[in-house]
Amino acid sequence: MLRVTDLNVSYGKIRALRGVSMSIPDGGSVAVLGPNGAGKTSLLRAISGQIKPTGGSVTWGEDDITGRPAYKVVRSGLVHVPEGRDVIAPLSVYENLLMGAYSVGRQGVADRVEEMLELFPSLRRRLKIASGRLSGGEQQMLAIARGLMSNPRLIAIDEPSMGLAPTVANDVLNGLRKVHAAGTAVLLVEQNAALALRLVQDIVVLSRGEVAVAGPAKDLEAEVLASYAN
């Protein structure tokens, strides 16, 4: 269980998050929705240790991980795939995958790469190519696969559909669905509410740094889609 309680994040005088609380059960799935500037990325960054919150707490299982550095959070089984994919362009697809594997034993790496290629088959014939030459969709698949190399119990993903054609965004979503079905918890940040609603059990809508609406996706679907249609 990941539990965020009363979280505050500020950048100088800008208050990006105010009193945000949410949780994800083991193996659960939550979408964080909301317009640009709502605080979605700040929430992921505070959870994964890339920024220190100014108040509140983040607990992960039995551990209080509030303000814990990012590399330690990864080792505890919580991975964050950042906005904009962030693959290392000059390195090959294979090398990028290896970079995600530092907490997997050497023995496990080949098997894990194979699992990733089964999850995202279009990466297989691209293995030796510099990642910067991949399409946007392939880069997103690689970024997710790299995050999964460490075999996390929760993967947090920031706007995976951004800039992708609908069919490609759908391929990415299908990959995430398989990851979730295999038991990994998913924390999905999206501006594309309709896409996110096809994957997740629960929704949190952020507005100006605060939770505006939260609850089961099936109860909120109509309301959320209507508000996004405006």
Ligand X SMILES: Nc1ncnc2c1ncn2[C@@H]1O[C@H](COP(=O)(O)OP(=O)(O)O)[C@@H](O)[C@H]1O
Chain positions contacting ligand X, by CB under 6 A: 11, 14, 16, 34, 36-42
Taking the complex as a whole, the smallest distance from the CB of residue 139 to Mg ion amounts, in Å, to: 17
Stretch that binds Mg ion, among 12-20, 21-29, 39-47, 209-217 (CB under 5 A): 39-47
**Are 59 and 76 contacting, i.e. CB atoms less than 8 angstroms apart?**
no
Per CB under 5 A, 41 contacts Mg ion: yes
Stretch that binds Mg ion, among 5-13, 19-27, 32-40, 123-131 (CB under 5 A): 32-40
Stretch that binds Mg ion, among 40-48, 119-127, 172-180, 208-216 (CB under 5 A): 40-48
Contacted entry of ligand X, Mg ion, none for residue 49, CB cut-off 5 to 8 Å set by kind = none
Taking the complex as a whole, the smallest distance from the CB of residue 226 to Mg ion amounts, in Å, to: 23
Taking the C-alpha atoms of residue 52 and residue 144, their distance in angstroms, rounded to an integer, is: 24
When the beta carbons of 11 and 71 are compared against ligand X, the nearer one is 11
Strand 78-81 with 63-64, pairing: unpaired
Taking the complex as a whole, the smallest distance from the CB of residue 116 to ligand X amounts, in Å, to: 27
Q: Long-range contact list for 126-129, CB < 8 A, 24+ apart?
A: 126/93, 127/92, 127/93, 127/94, 128/92, 128/93, 128/94, 129/92, 129/93
Total residues in contact with Mg ion, by rule CB under 5 A:
2
When the beta carbons of 104 and 213 are compared against ligand X, the nearer one is 213
Closest residue to Mg ion, judged by C-beta, is 41
Taking the complex as a whole, the smallest distance from the CB of residue 45 to ligand X amounts, in Å, to: 7
| Residue with tokens 């920031």, as numbered in its chain | 158
Q: Which amino acid is at 94?
A: Y
Contacted entry of Mg ion, ligand X, none for residue 165, CB cut-off 5 to 8 Å set by kind = none
Contacted entry of Mg ion, ligand X, none for residue 230, CB cut-off 5 to 8 Å set by kind = none
When the beta carbons of 97 and 224 are compared against ligand X, the nearer one is 224
**Are 218 and 199 contacting, i.e. CB atoms less than 8 angstroms apart?**
no
Contact residues for Mg ion, defined by CB under 5 A: 40-41
